[in-house]
Amino acid sequence: MEKNELYPIFLKVSNLNVLIVGGGNVGLEKLTFLLKSSPNAQVQMVAPEFLQDTLDLAQKHSVEITKAEYRKEFLKGKHIVVACTDKVEVNEQVYHDCRERSILVNVADNPPYCDFYMGGIVTKGNVKVAISTNGKSPTTAKRLRQFFEDVLPENIDDLVKNLNAYRDTLKGNFEEKVEALNEFTKGLLDSKPKKSDQ
């Protein structure tokens, strides 16, 4: 059976410089999901034309809009790049330029030209669940996202905050603290009410 070998990480994109190349529907989608998860992300978008919805969204956040054709000079100081133009040759050029500079790059709808995928995300307060199908099925990731949005209790953030406060009161070494937290949380999986009880 094929195995997903991706390594998940959670990036502080408010501390990183992100470039999105493309101003069409896919660019808007990538920007929307990025800002939904990380409203303070530092983003520059480059394209000859932009949708009005993109311009409106950019104005509400820290998004720099640059009306221009892509040039490799736009990569200076960037940490992460998403290429989503409607021109295959431009997207592939972005990919090769990024690889030469050791910049992480994602070419939309082209898995071989991706260092990372932008998966489904569920956020409830401090709890964030990211879902990947190894670039095989965004539709499945979407359905799983909907499932986790439904199954994770709305008050899970209260649990996280309470556990954080409890952890700060614990004495002893690392192993003893882990054991105490494991004991405290062992009923967590059984604590969500069934649909019929809600």
Does the reported pTM lie above 0.75? yes
For residues 134 and 34, which has the higher predicted lDDT (pLDDT)? 34
Instruction: Return the pLDDT at 153.
Output: 83
Query: Tell me, what amino acid is at 34?
Result: L
> For residue 104, how many C-alpha atoms fall within 13 Å in the half-sphere facing its CB?
11
For residues 18 and 117, which has the higher predicted lDDT (pLDDT)? 18
* Mean per-residue pLDDT over the chain, rounded: 88
CA-to-CA distance for 6 and 160, rounded, in angstroms? 26
Contact (CB, 8 A) for 70 and 93:
yes
> Does residue 64 register a pLDDT over 60?
yes
Tokens of 4: 């997903």
CA-to-CA distance for 130 and 161, rounded, in angstroms? 20
27 burial class (0-12, 13-18, 19+ CB within 10 angstroms)? Answer: buried
Q: For residue 87, what are the contacts with CB-CB under 8 A and spacing of at least 6?
A: none
Tokens of 29: 């989608």
Place of tokens 């999901």: 33
Q: Between β-strands 80-83 and 104-107, what pairing exists: parallel, antiparallel or unpaired?
A: parallel
Helices (H), the chain: 25-37, 52-59, 88-100, 138-151, 156-169, 174-185
> Does residue 104 register a pLDDT over 50?
yes
All structural domains of the chain, each given as residue ranges with its CATH number in brackets, are 1-118 (3.40.50.720), 156-191 (no CATH)
Place of tokens 């501390």: 15
| Rg value, the chain, Cα | 20
CA-to-CA distance for 18 and 110, rounded, in angstroms? 19
Model confidence pLDDT, tens digit, residues 134-167: 878 878 888 998 998 888 888 887 777 777 776 7
Instruction: Return the pLDDT at 196.
Output: 43
Tokens of 35: 């800002």
Instruction: Return the pLDDT at 14.
Output: 95
